[in-house]
Amino acid sequence: DSGVTQTPKHLITATGQRVTLRCSPRSGDLSVYWYQQSLDQGLQFLIQYYNGEERAKGNILERFSAQQFPDLHSELNLSSLELGDSALYFCASSALGGEQFFGPGTRLTVL
Amino acid sequence: SQQGEEDPQALSIQEGENATMNCSYKTSINNLQWYRQNSGRGLVHLILIRSNEREKHSGRLRVTLDTSKKSSSLLITASRAADTASYFCATGVIGGGKLIFGQGTELSVKP
């Protein structure tokens, strides 16, 4: 158990819909990262937050957004979903510059 | 985009044998981390090696880093069937916290 929690574990939805994925970092970690894992793209970095502020952005689509709240939990919002958005979405947390510990992931299926 | 490549893509060995996986990357790094993933489940952090380190050990794991060749290797000694998983290297870029992952090595350890 990494100490990072993610909900829900599984999500099945339809094209065009919007979903929210939630992540709680390990106690004391200020950095939260979101990654997407798909068969064709592998593991891709999406976005990083540090203590509530956006720190770095990767190949995150405009239809996707994220935020980190004062209690340090983070949410990833995916809208106007397409079939190709089906993937495993991971959240990770770390002390700045240290090991990143990953949550169990949310498996998103878009039908 | 992927930072580097892992070699081999798949490795099949007998229990008790050693397994070596290699990772190459393209840009300067702050650190390199190795992860294990069982069948599309969560990523388990194995070890972090910083750019100023050359070798690190953790239990049956030995990681080396050669920054002049931009490469790293992960050695698992006395492998067990439970080591069967995909192994990923991930580079921490300078000036940021995000990780860039390789495509992984699929290790199969036969009892």
The per-residue DSSP string of chain B comes to ----EEE-SEEEEETTS-EEEEEE-SS-EEEEEEEEESTT-PEEEEEEEETT-SEEEETTEEEEEETTTTEEEEEE-S--GGG-EEEEEEEEETTS--EEE---EEEEEE-
Query: To the nearest whole percent, how much of chain A has pLDDT over 70?
Result: 98
Local confidence band at B27 (pLDDT 50, 70, 90 cut-offs): confident
* Per-residue pLDDT, B3: 60
Identify the CA nearest to A25 among candidates A77, A91, A88, A75.
Answer: A91
In this model, does residue B5 exceed pLDDT 90? no
Asked whether the beta carbons of residue A42 and residue B33 sit closer than 8 angstroms, the reply is no
Asked whether the beta carbons of residue A97 and residue B30 sit closer than 8 angstroms, the reply is yes
Asked whether the beta carbons of residue B43 and residue A33 sit closer than 8 angstroms, the reply is no
In this model, does residue B1 exceed pLDDT 60? no
Q: DSSP for A37-50, please give it.
A: EETTTEEEEEEEEE
Point out the residue among B45, B88, B96 whose CB comes nearest to the CB of A43: B88
* Per-residue pLDDT, A5: 97
The Cα-based distances of B7 to A109, B14, B21, B26 in angstroms read 30, 19, 6, 15
> Which residues of chain A lie closer than 8 angstroms to B40, CB-CB?
88, 107
Contact of B65 with B24, CB cutoff 8 Å = no
In this model, does residue B2 exceed pLDDT 70? no
The more confidently predicted of residues B39 and A60 is A60
